[in-house]
Structure 1
Amino acid sequence: MKTVIFDVDGTLVDSQGLIVAAMNGGLVKAGLAELPREEVLSIVGLSLPIAVAELIPQESQEVQDAVVAGYREAFFQKRLQTTAPLYPGADAALRRLAAREDILLAIATGKSRRGLLAMMEQHGWTGIFVSVQTADDHPSKPNPSMINKVLSDTGVTQQDAVMIGDTTFDMDMARAAGVTGFGVSWGYHPDEALRRSGAALIAPDYVALTEAIEDWANG
């Protein structure tokens, strides 16, 4: 058996609009100025408290906690109003891979479990993933804890797992866990940064990514 582990934001789902709006909503509610889109997107993939600390390291823990709370409130409200779109080909790729008897699918994401489960239900993905790891239960990426739990859940070795992600945090986590990392070019970190973090390849779209995963699985 092989295990394919997917990141979510920036890899499966184009949630940048929701993330930027929610983060700036949290900042404003805490009495701070909004930040540029590129700066906010640079921390996508980290667990929320770590991401906020990266964005405003000069602020006190109390202020950072207020931004985290404001982000969660704003994100929840915006998620009720709109659904973040999938990247083209994401749904078809997941269903094609899930149909194979030799591949197990998993998720390792900096999202909360509540937000992730709501997203999976919206897209009809309940039951597709055999292991779902979120920021609620693990240290932030690039700590390998989430991948290690996936390996434990699926019973596969490091050599038989691959991490799919759009950020250096994903590639660094894969390397720390001793698994292969495949980068995608449509997310929030540039291709060159993914290469420097050890991506074995960088897929330009979901057709190419699916072919690369199947080639890897076929060994």
Structure 2
Amino acid sequence: MSAPLRLVLFDVDGTLVDSQGSIVAAMTASFDAHSLPVPKRDAILSIVGLSLPVAMARLASEHSDTVQQRLVDGYKQAYHAHRLEQGAASSPLYPGALDAIEALHAVPEVLLGVATGKSQRGLDALIEAHGLERYFVTRQVADHHPSKPHPSMVDTARSETGVEAANTVMIGDTQFDMDMARAAGVAGIGVAWGYHERSALSGATSIIETFEQLPRALDDIWT
């Protein structure tokens, strides 16, 4: 009897790639351009994973919707410019990320996907920069969904792949990822190297310290 299909969904920023330099630089440039006080680095990293309008509403809650939208537009422009200038170096893969992706991709019954607060343009550029085009069969981005932790990204990925909730795992570095997994009725694996403190990942089924621990964590969930 053949093994059931499994679906492994990865968050991107703070999970697969370390993009904090680009994120902080772009946010700083946007606030500076509007002569507004720049949020502290910890505050900026705390909203990574949320869709950009939701993130900006948290960072600039004292400002009007119009100002927040201008900040969003400024961030997009600055981030895009930073990516064009630095290429893949603007968001390097974490140690072990590519090996983990390749190992999982080699398992016939395992499908890989992405669920990210990035835009479609941003995700496509990152995947191309790192040569990851062939690995992810489903790519869920902020353009087409409510912000995390709404379960829409996971639900849509499952619908596209036909994988049951019991056979789906969400891997991420933030509370938003773990809350999204719980809302979608799937297991969540937290990663300890990202942008939220380990204590924020309390909703995770398990927490891993390195990508080398991922196979065991997946086996524990599926067996």
* TM-score, normalising length: structure 1: 0.96
Q: Which moved more, 1:203-212 or 1:38-47?
A: 203-212
**1:201 pairs with one of 201, 206, 209:** 206
CA contact (8 A) 2:12 2:114 kept: yes
Aligned residues: percent identity? 52
- What letter is aligned with 1:177? A
Distance in structure 2 (CA, Å) of the matches to 1:137 and 1:31: 31
Q: How does 1:139-150 map to 2 (within 5 A)?
A: 139-150=146-157
**Residues 1:76 and 2:80 aligned together:** yes
Q: RMSD over aligned Cα, in angstroms?
A: 0.9
- What letter is aligned with 2:112? L
Distance in structure 2 (CA, Å) of the matches to 1:214 and 1:45: 26
Distance in structure 2 (CA, Å) of the matches to 1:208 and 1:85: 20
Q: Which moved more, 1:207-216 or 1:43-52?
A: 207-216
Q: How does 1:8-157 map to 2 (within 5 A)?
A: 8-82=12-86, 83=89, 84-157=91-164
Runs of 4+ in structure 1 displaced over 3 angstroms?
A: 214-217
Q: Which moved more, 1:207-216 or 1:83-92?
A: 207-216
Once the two structures are TM-superposed, the CA of residue 216 in structure 1 deviates from its matched residue by: 3.4
Secondary structure of the equivalent of 1:130?
A: strand
Once the two structures are TM-superposed, the CA of residue 211 in structure 1 deviates from its matched residue by: 2.9
Distance in structure 2 (CA, Å) of the matches to 1:194 and 1:172: 9
- CA deviations 1:58-79 (Å, max 9, x no partner) are 1001110110010000000000
Gaps of 5+ in 2: none
Distance in structure 1 (CA, Å) of the matches to 2:79 and 2:123: 12
Distance in structure 2 (CA, Å) of the matches to 1:216 and 1:125: 26
Once the two structures are TM-superposed, the CA of residue 128 in structure 1 deviates from its matched residue by: 0.6
**1:160 pairs with one of 163, 167, 175:** 167
Distance in structure 2 (CA, Å) of the matches to 1:112 and 1:200: 28
For 2:215, the equivalent position in structure 1 comes to 210
Once the two structures are TM-superposed, the CA of residue 28 in structure 1 deviates from its matched residue by: 1.1
The number of aligned residues is 216
CA contact (8 A) 2:187 2:221 kept: no
Distance in structure 1 (CA, Å) of the matches to 2:176 and 2:220: 24
Secondary structure of the equivalent of 1:181?
A: strand
Distance in structure 1 (CA, Å) of the matches to 2:27 and 2:200: 24
* TM-score, normalising length: structure 2: 0.95
Once the two structures are TM-superposed, the CA of residue 213 in structure 1 deviates from its matched residue by: 2.1
